[in-house]
Structure 1
Amino acid sequence: MKKMVLFLVFVLTLTACKKETDIKPTPALADKFAGSYQLNSFRFTGGGTELDLPTLPVSGNGQSVSGAVTLVKVAGAKLALELVIKATGANDYKLQLENLEVKQIGAEYGLFSNNQRIADVDGTALIFNVSETDPTTKETIAVAFVARR
């Protein structure tokens, strides 16, 4: 759990400045992609911990794991993302990201945090994939998931 919190801190402090000249924020795009998505897969690696759930929801032996992602329009082309993973007998895990910007790149759409593309979205699916390396410890933490409406 501490590794996931550490990852959240990394994501919230991303400072990448990758510039793409054909990126255009459009306020109406936030409306198009806002809504609820069911988590279909989830992967986390970091600090010697690896969690790979290639198919969700999953259940067996009286245990179940499921999840959901909600995109909420904040203002203009900005969205907030909340990921919630539920597991039998455990506290819900929540990851919240604020001020994500929806941008169109050619025929594709992406979610950006501080000009770094962290997800692709098309109205029916959300594909999230972020990895970050701590410059002092050289530890890489990665989170990836797929969610569908």
Structure 2
Amino acid sequence: MNKLLFFLFPLLLVLTGCPKDKEKDPEPAKPAAAVAGTYTLSAFRYSDSDGTTNLPTLPTTINGRTVSGTVVLTQVSGQDAKVSLKLTLKITGQQDAVIDIDEIGVEGSGPYTLKLDGQSVGSVDGNTCTFSVSETDQQGQHVELSFTGRK
């Protein structure tokens, strides 16, 4: 029995004395890098003094023309919490309509909040990006833009 204990004791020390390899917690994603990517538009709305375009489901076909679009969020170089936004609306047989918005702030750690000039204008949660902004331009025209996109 003593021989067995003499043999098992060092073995127990070796087995219990070695620390287990712990997996390191992943580094939290930089907000801009976490939301960057291409989102396919699933809904779009634009309104100004000339009228309103409301497309609650995309892609869609209107008068034989397919309407679809994308939103690309790109991390601003050297900025962990800023993205630029490029919205492209495609209509078969017409030139693409493009809207660029620079310097959109990204806050949080999921869901992320999108901010423009300090105001919350949208969110990114997993694979869904929502955005809504309204403003009055220099000519006094009220403009509204909102969309939803999915990765």
Give the Cα separation in 1 of the matches to 2:62 and 2:111.
38
Asked whether 1:109 is paired with 2:104, we answer no
Higher relative contact order (CA 8 A, sep 6+): 1
Structure-2 separation of matches of 1:108 and 1:32: 10
Deviations 1:20-69 (A, max 9, x none): xxxxxx97111111111000011111103110111000125531010000
Q: How many residues align?
A: 122
1:133 Cα deviation after fit: 3.0
Task: Give runs of aligned pairs for residues 17-96 of structure 1, distance below 5 A.
Answer: 28-59=30-61, 61-74=63-76, 75-96=79-100
Over residues 114-139 of structure 1, what are the superposed CA-to-partner deviations in whole Å (9 max), with x where a residue is unaligned? Answer: 211111111311111111135863x4
Name the Cα RMSD after superposition.
Answer: 2.1
Instruction: Please give the TM-score of this superposition, normalised by the length of structure 1.
Output: 0.73
Counterparts of 1:136 and 1:48, CA distance in 2: 13
Report the structure number with the largest CA radius of gyration.
Answer: 2
TM-score where L is the length of structure 2: 0.73
Instruction: State the percentage of identical aligned residues.
Output: 35
Distance in 2 of aligned mates of 1:134 and 1:63: 31
SS at match of 1:101: strand
- 2:21 corresponds in structure 1 to none
Moved beyond 6 Å, runs of 4+? none
Q: For the Cα contact (< 8 Å) 1:27–1:76, is it kept in 2? A: no
Task: Name whichever structure is richer in strand by fraction.
Answer: 1
Q: Please state whether the residue corresponding to 1:45 is helix, strand or coil.
A: strand
